[in-house]
Amino acid sequence: MITVLLLAMVVLPAAGVAAQALALWFGCRRSERATVMIVALVFGAVAIAAVTLALTLLVTGRDMIDVQVGPWFATSDHAWRWHLVADRLCVPFALCAAALIGLIGALSSRYLHREPGFYRFYLLLTLFGTGVELVVLAGSLTVVFVGWELVGMASALLIAYFHDRQGPVRHGLRAFLTYRACDVGLLAGTALLADAAGSVDLSGPPAPPAPRAGWTSVLGWTGWAQVPVPGSTVSATIVALLLLLGVVGKSALVPVSGWLPRAMEGPTPSSAIFYGAISVHLGPYLLLRAHALLDAAPAARVLVVLLGLASALHATLVGRVQSDIKNALAYASMTQVGLIVAEIGLGLYPLAIVHILGHAAMRSAQILRSPSLLHDRHHLEQAMGRTLPHTGRHLERFVPVRWRLPLYRYGFEHGYLDVWLRRLRDPIAGLLRAIDHTQRRVADRLGGTRSDTTLEVTGMGQTAGTTAVSLPAARREI
Partner 1 sequence: MDLDPENTAGKERATETATTPLAAASKEVAIPAQVTSEPRTDRDSLVASILEDVARLLPEQAPLSFFVHHNTLHAFEDLPFQDAVIRASDVLGTQPFQTEQAFADHLCSGRIREDDVRAVLAPHDEVDGDAEVVPGGPTLAEFRFRRLTTLFEIPRGAGLRWLVDEDDVRHRCHPLVSDARRAAIRHQAALIFELHGGSGQDAPEVPGAIRTAGRWGRSRRADRGEAAAGRPTDKARLLGEVWGTLERQRPPAPAGPAPARRRDQILRLWGVDTDEFVHPVLIRVCSAFLDQGVAYWRMPEREEGLLGVFRRLFGLPSGRTEPVWRGLDAVLREQAAQEWTAARTVVWALGALQLPESAWPAAIRANLLSLRGWAGMVRQFEIRPDRVPVRPPPARLVDFLAVQLLLTVFATRYVLAHHAGPGAEPADLGPLGPVSPPVPASSGGPAASVAAPVARTSAAHPSDPSIDSDPSIDSDTSIDSALVYEAFVLAQVMDVDLGLLTEDRWASAWLRAVADVDDRRRGWLLHQAYERRYRMGVLDALHTHSQNSAKPAQSDEPRADFHAVFCMDEREESLRRHLEEHCPTARTYGAAGFFGVAMAYQGLDDPRPRGLCPVTTIPRHLVVERAVDDIEHAAYRRAMRRYGHVGHVLSTARGTLGRGAALTAIAGLASTVPLVGRCLFPRTAEHWARHVHHRVAPRPRTRLVLERTDDVDHLDSDPMALATPGESDAASGARVPGVGSAPLKVGYTVAEMTDVVEAMLTNIGLADPVPAAAADAMMAGATTAGQADSGAEQLILIVGHGSSSLNNPHEAAHDCGATGGGQGGPNARAFASMANHPRVRDGLARRGIRLDSTVWFIGAYHNTCDESIDYFDTDLVPNRFRSALDGLRAAMDVARRLDAQERCRRFESAPLDIDADQALAHVQEHARDIGQPRPEYGHATNAVCVIGRRSRTRGLYLDRRAFLVSYDPTTDPDGQVLTRLLLSAGPVGAGINLEYYFSVVDPVGYGSGTKLPHNITALVGVMNGHASDLRTGLPWQMVEIHEPMRLLVIAEARPEVLSRVLRDNPALDRLASGGWIQLAAWDPKEPDIHLYVDGAFRPHHPDDRTLPVVTRSAEFYAGRREHLGCATVLGTPPTTSADESTATR
Q: Is 435 in the site for partner 1 (CB under 8 A)?
A: no
Which of these ranges, 15-23, 68-76, 140-148, 413-421, lies near partner 1 under the rule CB under 8 A? 413-421
Is there a contact between 123 and 108 (Cβ–Cβ < 8 Å)?
A: no
The interface with partner 1 within residues 73-92 (CB under 8 A) comprises none
Which one, 1 or 383, has the nearer CB to partner 1? 383
Q: How many residues bind partner 1 (CB under 8 A)?
A: 111
From candidates 391, 400, 427, 445, binder to partner 1 by CB under 8 A: 391
Residues 203-262, interacting with partner 1 (CB under 8 A)? 261-262
What is the distance between the alpha carbons of residues 216 and 340, in angstroms, rounded to a whole number?
Answer: 19
Contact 104, 273 (CB under 8 A): yes
Q: What gap in Å lies between CA 158 and CA 279, rounded to an integer?
A: 12
Among residues 78, 378, 437, 441, the one that binds partner 1 under rule CB under 8 A: 378
User: Which one, of 100, 111, 4, lies nearest residue 52 by Cα?
Assistant: 4
Amino acid at 273: I
Q: Which of 55, 71, 74, 110 binds partner 1 (CB under 8 A)?
A: 110
Rounded Cα distance between 151 and 182, Å, is: 14
Give yes or no for residue 385 binding partner 1 (CB under 8 A). yes
Which residues make Cβ contacts (< 8 Å) with residue 213, sequence separation at least 6? none
Interface with partner 1 (CB under 8 A), residue from 28, 59, 210, 473: 473
CB of 314 to partner 1, least distance (A): 11
Which of 413, 435, 437, 438 binds partner 1 (CB under 8 A)? It is 413
Considering only 9-17, 198-206, 248-256, 390-398, which stretch makes contact with partner 1 by CB under 8 A?
390-398
Does residue 421 interact with partner 1 by CB under 8 A? no
Report the C-alpha gap between 330 and 366 in whole angstroms: 11
d(CA 155, CA 161): 10
- Pure H helices in 138-274: 141-159, 166-197, 215-219, 233-250, 259-262, 268-271
Is residue 364 part of the contact set for partner 1 (CB under 8 A)? yes
Contact window for partner 1 (CB under 8 A) among 11-19, 224-232, 233-241, 465-473? 465-473
Among 37, 106, 181, 241, binds partner 1 (CB under 8 A): 106
Q: CA triplet 457, 160, 111: central angle to 5 degrees? A: 155
Q: How far is the CB of 226 from partner 1 (least distance, A)?
A: 24
Of residues 326, 10, 273, 250, the one with CA closest to residue 122:
273
Give the containing element (helix H, strand E) for 72.
Answer: strand 64-74
> Nearer to partner 1 by C-beta: 301 or 363?
363
Sign (positive or negative) of CA dihedral 67, 70, 74, 77: positive
**Interaction between residue 335 and partner 1 (CB under 8 A):** yes
Nearest to 5 by CA among 98, 119, 120: 98
| 377 contacts partner 1 (rule: CB under 8 A) | yes
Which 160-179 residues touch partner 1, going by CB under 8 A? 161-162, 165, 167-168, 171
Comparison of 416 and 438: residue with beta carbon closer to partner 1: 416
Measured CA to CA, the distance from residue 220 to residue 281 in angstroms comes to 20
**Cα–chain-centroid distance for residue 308?**
16
How many degrees, rounded to 5, is the angle at CA 366 between CA 360 and CA 370?
Answer: 145
**Does 51 sit near partner 1 (CB under 8 A)?**
no
CA-based torsion, 106, 117, 122, 279: positive or negative: negative
What binding mask, one character per residue, do residues 258-287 give for partner 1 by CB under 8 A, x or -?
A: ---xxxxxxxxx------------------
Alpha-carbon Rg for the chain, nearest whole angstrom, is: 24
Contact pattern for partner 1 over residues 301 through 330, marking x by CB under 8 A = -----------xx--x--xxxxxxxxxxx-
Is 374 a binding residue for partner 1 by CB under 8 A? The answer is yes
Q: Closer to partner 1 by CB, 7 or 362: give it.
A: 362
Q: Is 469 in the site for partner 1 (CB under 8 A)?
A: yes
Nearer to partner 1, 236 or 254 (CB): 254
| 29 forms part of the interface with partner 1 (CB under 8 A) | no
Interface region with partner 1, contact rule CB under 8 A, candidates 134-142, 213-221, 403-411, 441-449: 403-411
403 binds partner 1 (CB under 8 A): no
Neighbour count for residue 13 (Cβ, 10 Å): 28
- What track of x and - describes contact with partner 1 for positions 118 through 157 (by CB under 8 A)? ----------------------------------------
